[in-house]
Amino acid sequence: MPENSECIDGEEYPIDIWLLLAAYIRPEDVCRFSLICKNAWTATCTAAFWTRLYKRHYNLDADLPDRLQPDSVAKMRCLRARVIRSLFHLYEPFSLRVSKSPPLPESTPTTLLNSKCLLCWVNKVSGSRSELMWEFNFKFVKLPTKGKFTINVSTDMRHHRVRLDFQDSPVIRGKKFRGEQGVQVVLDPVHSVRLMDWWHPQYPTSSYN
């Protein structure tokens, strides 16, 4: 086919058709469905799509935290994230995936490369003025961008040492990570580390997400 020729085969269907088809998509097929065409992707971006997906799999016997109950989901705040988190409680193929995962923190890798830190927050756990205990929560998403997370032995040889390296460009495969080009954060000592996906039922979240 000539380089500049336009493909005239096929037909573009209205968004209403894709919204109708989206009502029958399994949760694990949402990504594949959204890649069919622009209108299919648009359908998966609507509040109606995520609300219907939640209602299809919700049941009264489900043990859901308050932030994932129907009243909270109906408020539409962080709707997509709430529905996805709900599915790991409600949808058997997803809940089985969690139950078959190695227990935490044994499954925590020593290195996380090319991930983006979306959010970080700190909570005071306990301790006097002389010895404070803090809980650091970093929300990472696995993307080809900007970061390296490394765990090794602390200087006191009894705990962990966590190093977070941030830079503006991703690390190219086969190239060495240049920590001096970005910002480095070192936490030492660290008593425990748990690394999990943002949708995991054990992932710490606030009532707002």
The answer to whether the predicted template modeling score (pTM) of the entire model surpasses 0.85 is no
Q: How far apart are CA 4 and CA 99, in angstroms?
A: 52
Pairing mode of beta strands 116-127, 111-113: unpaired
- The pLDDT, as a whole number, for residue 145 is 43
Give the model confidence (pLDDT) of 44-88 as tens digits.
999 999 999 999 999 888 888 888 999 988 888 889 989 999 999
Give residue 176's pLDDT: 60
Instruction: Report which residue type is found at 40.
Output: A
Alpha-carbon span 115 to 158, nearest angstrom:
28
pLDDT band at residue 12 under the 50/70/90 scheme: confident
Per-residue pLDDT at 18 exceeds 90: yes
The answer to whether 117 and 138 have CB atoms below 8 angstroms apart is yes
What is the mean pLDDT of the segment spanning 127-156?
62
Give pLDDT, residue 143.
43
Give residue limits of the domains in the chain: 15-99, 111-190
CB 90 within 8 Å of CB 68: no
Supply the mean pLDDT for the chain. Answer: 76
| Cα separation, 162 vs 119, whole angstroms | 17
